[in-house]
Copies of this chain bind each other. A is one copy, B any other.
Amino acid sequence: MPTTKEIVYTPLTEITAIKLVKKLNLFSETEALTAREIGDGNLNLVFHITNAKTNESMIVKQALPYAKVVGESWPLSLKRATIESNALKQFGEFVPEFIPDVYHHDETLAVTVMEDLSHLTIARTGLINGETYPLISEHIGTFLANIAFKTSDFAIKPQEKKGLVAQYINPDLCNITEELVFTDPFFNYDTNEFEETLQRDVEDLWADEAVKLEAAKLKQKFLTSSQTLVHGDLHTGSIFANEQWTKVIDPEFAFYGPFGFDLGHFIANLLLNAISREENNRPPLFEHIVRTWKVYTNTWTALWNETNVEPFAENTNYLEYILEQTWIDAVGYAGCEVIRRTIGLAHVADIDGIEDGEKRLHAQRTALRVGRYLLTHQNEIKAVDFQELLK
């Protein structure tokens, strides 16, 4: 007969979320707290806990055992909450300035308690409202190069790194990407979502075997390459920002994947925002793309030269090869992301939010055209070419 009550998974309410942070001594028992559920509700519950008197606040995030976006029929392992918490801690070791502090994680409840970042804005929202976030590319370039290098075989002895690969195996969340990013948008599948006016453009894509071959190769690499710990879902909705700060959140899709994956997703989402803007407002986005890659290569190169554990790293052609492959993959992944955000299940507000139907259709057509071009010209496109592509 058990003498202690076994903890079982139960979804939190506003009341039990407050009880939890008090029990953890993150707030004292006597404080008057309020809790508000602020999640978009697709995969998680997110409670914003505040003490109105002291202005202290934090976030309680809990994974749900299913994806609400398609009903309860798409079950999702709760293990992703532990993966997210581990990834945040891992990233925090290398680049704490770009990550929320993690105060507590409970594997059974699939709960993480972390720093409240609500003084910042979700970058997607800010960019849609015309913000430019002058430091975002400097920060994300630094973040990505540090994470990519420091969790790879170039920084960690392979025997140790293989333990991390196992720890971050994330079948359920990877499956979402495999289907919704790399498969469904390229076929006439029910999950796709697009306006009727786009039908002919979409059918053109479905018939384009050259584009589909490149998507297949990129999917294959996503399925089989464990180069580095990737965030896995680094769009502008996973970034909090203001003029001075940039914070990356929500790495529940984290797993060991290709070097260029996160980079491609970040670039694609800058590009989608650029596509949604009038031409004269686009330059800051193009500058961000160029700067992200420049900062990434500089940061990566410095780490490579100063800290590499791989004997072959003395060969400078090897450094060039790795950076070149990273970029080529990033261009390809950007292409897939731009396409699936236009015709797949999950769109972006940047483009869907364009009120004028003609302009929206034009933006969607541009996105499809550019996405296809990126896929079939991965080896040619440089960071400075994106501006030209949108003309």
Contact = CB atoms under 8 A, between A and B. Distances in A.
Contacts of A224: 153, 225-227
A158 interface: yes
Interface string A180-191: 000100110000
Interface stretch (A109-117, A166-174, A342-350): A166-174
A153 B223 contact: yes
Which applies to chain A's interface (DSSP): helix, strand, loop or mixed?
Answer: helix
Contacts of A158: 171, 174-175, 178, 223
Interface residues of A, number: 40
Nearest to A215: B312
B171 A209 contact: no
Contact of A171 (B162, B170, B311, B322): B162
A163 B317 CA distance: 36
A219 interface: yes
A315 interface: yes
A187 B226 CA distance: 26
A255 to B, nearest CB: 9
B183 A159 contact: no
Contacts of A178: 158
A220 B153 CA distance: 8
A217 interface: yes
- Copies held by the complex: 2
A165 interface: yes
A26 to B, nearest CB: 34
Contact of A165 (B169, B215, B312): B169
A318 interface: yes
A24 interface: no
A70 interface: no
A38 interface: no
A209 B311 contact: no
A225 B225 CA distance: 5
Contacts of A227: 220, 224
Contacts of A310: 216
A171 B187 contact: no
A212 B315 CA distance: 8
Contacts of A217: 318, 321
A213 interface: yes
Contact of A213 (B163, B183, B186, B318): B318
Nearest to A175: B159
